Amino acid sequence: MGDKIIAVDSVKKVFKIGRKQEITVAEGLSFQVAKGEVICIVGKTGCGKSTIFNMLLGLEPPTEGTIRIEGRDPHKDFQYFRTKIGAIFQTDRLLPWRDSLANAMIGLEIVEKSREIREKTALKWLHRLGLDGFEKAYPYQLSGGMRQRVGMARAFTVNPAILLADEAFGHLDQVTSIQLREIFLQLIKETGKTCLVVTHNIREAIEIGRRLIVLGKPGRVLLDEKIEKFSTEAEKSEYEERILSVIDRNEVCY
């Protein structure tokens, strides 16, 4: 694999609906990710973005083809990846009976770190994410943006080599979304983590990613290219229109 930390090769994913019906959500899907890359995956609803996310997490196996992370199958070797991959979801998925500190410590509890290490590490990341003073607050006492910060702290606390984010900022208001994206990018840069962000928002993908993978239906790569730096807002808007055109045509770009 060389420096390729993730390899998706000719993946097909089929779900059965009832006894006789089937739906294909990914077909002929192939891409590789190098260590330290920040990649955004975009596409219309129903193109298989979240299914790919779940397969990379090891929650679903591919029907055909292979997925390898560090040379291992994330589904078959699910336990091995418990602290190797961190996930940030569209909803914060916090446990309502736990305060912010206890929620941020969950990953370290699973791998049986001492309470001292759990608290020290979780407090560090809550601080980095601007939650000083809210360590003992419960989810119902926090705003949506603050809950998502706790979810981000939970992901970073286990120090994963790879971070996966599925529509992590799409449900927030515009101001909060921009703030959290900036914080997220800064933390990714500081820690040098490999990162895949799944989003339907092309502008968000342009601002987060250093490489863009555009998916069409059914779950196939239409475009895979590096994102260049833009000198003006007009250039950024022009690029966004180009990506929208690729998605609308649903044709592979070579």
Residue 178 lies in a domain: no
Number of domains in the chain: 1
Q: Work out whether the CA dihedral 180, 191, 1, 78 comes out positive or negative.
A: negative
pTM of this structure: 0.89
| Inside any domain, residue 154 | yes
pLDDT band at 2 (very low <50, low <70, confident <90, very high): very low
In a domain, 185, yes or no: no
Check residue 34 and give its pLDDT. 94
pLDDT at 254: 59
Largest CA distance in the chain: 55
Range of the domain at 104: 91-159
Burial class (CB in 10 A: 0-12, 13-18, 19+), 22: exposed
What is the structure's pLDDT at 212? Answer: 95
Instruction: Quote the radius of gyration of the chain (alpha carbons, Å).
Output: 19
- Is 149 part of any domain? yes
Residue pLDDT, tens place only, 142-189:
998 999 999 999 999 999 999 999 988 877 788 888 888 888 889 998
Residue 102 in any domain: the answer is yes
Higher pLDDT, 45 or 238: 238
Checking if the pLDDT of 213 tops 70, the result is yes
> Is residue 97 one of the residues assigned to a domain?
yes
